Amino acid sequence: MRNAEKNPVFLCACVAAAVLLSLPAGAAEEGPYSYTMSNIEGGAGGSAGGKLAVPGGDGPFPLVVVSHGWASGAQYMVGWGKLFASYGMVAVVPNFPSPLMPDHKKNGEIIEALVGIYQNPPAESPAHGKVDPQKVGLAGHSAGALASTLAAKNLSPDVLVLFDPVDNSNMGKKAFPDICSPTMIIFAKPGSCNNSCEWESYKDTVGGSLVSFRVKGTTHCDGENPPRVACGPFCGGAATGALQDLMAERALAMLELHLLGDDTNAASLEEQSLVDNDKIIDILVEDYTPECAPLDPPDTDQDTVSTDTGGEGEGEGEGEGEGEGEGEGEGEGEGEGEGEGEGEGEGEGEGEGEGSTFDDGDDGGCQCAVRSSSPKRGAAFVAFGLLGLAWVFASRRRHSR
């Protein structure tokens, strides 16, 4: 033990662990439900264990799986799980295997398996008999947001919440258009630990309805709850409780609306409400794409529909027949040519300008830029990863005893 105490690596690890343990348990105010916490056994659904938060009361409660990112673990997302449980949701917070070398596809499959398990929890589980299997939500941070996206493509959950998602090999980009679930994306300021501008460029391709924004001043670290001090130096700054509150308010409103059927705070998800908050920028609120739009009730007024359709058909036939030869043909040709030319020119010019004048300040928004790698940046990633991995394994070992 004396030799270990003299080892600088050991001492640094002890200091880091002490600091990490001293962090607050989360910033957002909890809801009206009490809840119980328990461990998820290692191997469940292919996971490396995790945490389970179950509200008090009989239920049934909706199910939410909350997933961590790279070099992280359940202990850095369990704050979200506790918060959601305090508002009447059963929260499953898994540990993924190989946090430093994640298999994103496999992690998505683990999420799917855990949903299958906890839609009908076994008799020995504290969640047994308390889950509504018809109400499922997914939430994730960073690489956990990517895994949640991949799982959502197959599961079609009732809602999907992504905290500063980070893609890998365009896996998220390819899956996003096939997702019809109502989706919320909360981006952070681009930095060394994320590539949010990449996801930002195709956020509007999701099939489901979308609420997307960024909270001024947030960094990649704000997606973890509770935060860890080790994140700040490597990822653009430490998490901020007041800013996490804003994130939590909107995430809760989204989950309450789509899982609990509670629209009390639904107005906070509307575009004007987001615009009115000077801390929220880069706002995009969109409805479902035609491919994903819920089916409208059938129109029983068949006579009206038939009459309108017939009228339009006769009008178009007569008009095109008379004017197509000279006036209309020439006018349409000129209009289409001008529109296409201007559109292409403006798109290329704006894209180049934004990329070359990248500003990652709070008022600049999430703009795409190519950032060159450097030895210092690579070393920072390695150091952060090793520190995170050491703490993850230490924490898992402690909780398993």
For residue 272, give both structure tokens.
Answer: 């004007």
Q: What integer pLDDT is reported at residue 9 of this predicted model?
A: 46
Of 258, 268, 266, nearest to 62 (Cα)?
258
Burial class (CB in 10 A: 0-12, 13-18, 19+), 133: middle
Of 280, 204, 190, nearest to 235 (Cα)?
190
In a domain, 35, yes or no: yes
Query: What would the pLDDT profile of 334-344 be if each residue is shown by its tens digit?
Result: 334 444 444 33
* Other beta carbons within 10 Å of 312: 10
What is the C-alpha to C-alpha distance for residues 63 and 65, in angstroms, rounded to an integer?
A: 7
What is the reported pTM? 0.73
Q: What integer pLDDT is reported at residue 311 of this predicted model?
A: 40
What is the C-alpha to C-alpha distance for residues 73 and 99, in angstroms, rounded to an integer?
A: 7
Strand 131-141 relative to strand 61-67: parallel, antiparallel, unpaired? parallel
Q: What integer pLDDT is reported at residue 29 of this predicted model?
A: 87
What is the C-alpha to C-alpha distance for residues 217 and 311, in angstroms, rounded to an integer?
A: 56
In a domain, 359, yes or no: no
In a domain, 19, yes or no: yes
At position 32, the amino acid (one-letter code) is P
Of 226, 32, 41, 30, nearest to 126 (Cα)?
41
| Full domain range(s) for residue 38 | 2-294+386-400
* Other beta carbons within 10 Å of 308: 10
Within 256-374, residue ranges assigned H as helices are 271-276, 302-323, 329-356
What is the C-alpha to C-alpha distance for residues 71 and 98, in angstroms, rounded to an integer?
A: 8
In a domain, 355, yes or no: no
* Other beta carbons within 10 Å of 399: 14
Low-confidence ranges of the chain (pLDDT < 70): 1-28, 196-197, 295-401
Q: What is the total count of domains within the chain? A: 1
CA 336 from centre of chain? 39
Of 61, 65, 81, 54, nearest to 132 (Cα)?
61
In a domain, 356, yes or no: no
Instruction: Say which CATH number the domain at 73 has.
Output: 3.40.50.1820
At position 89, the amino acid (one-letter code) is M
Residues paired with 35 in a beta bridge: 55
In a domain, 381, yes or no: no
Angle, vertex CA 361, rays to CA 358 and CA 365, nearest 5:
70
Q: What integer pLDDT is reported at residue 228 of this predicted model?
A: 86
Residues paired with 284 in a beta bridge: 212
Q: What is the DSSP letter of 121?
A: -
Q: Max CA-CA distance within the chain?
A: 99
Q: What separation in angstroms does the CA of 130 have from each of 49, 54, 252, 317?
A: 20, 8, 20, 61
Query: Could you tell me how many residues make up the chain?
Result: 401
Q: What integer pLDDT is reported at residue 296 of this predicted model?
A: 57
For residue 239, give both structure tokens.
Answer: 């998490």
In a domain, 186, yes or no: yes
CA 322 from centre of chain? 55
In sequence order, which residues have a C-beta less than 8 Å from that of residue 369 and are 6 or more positions away? 190, 197, 355, 358
In a domain, 320, yes or no: no
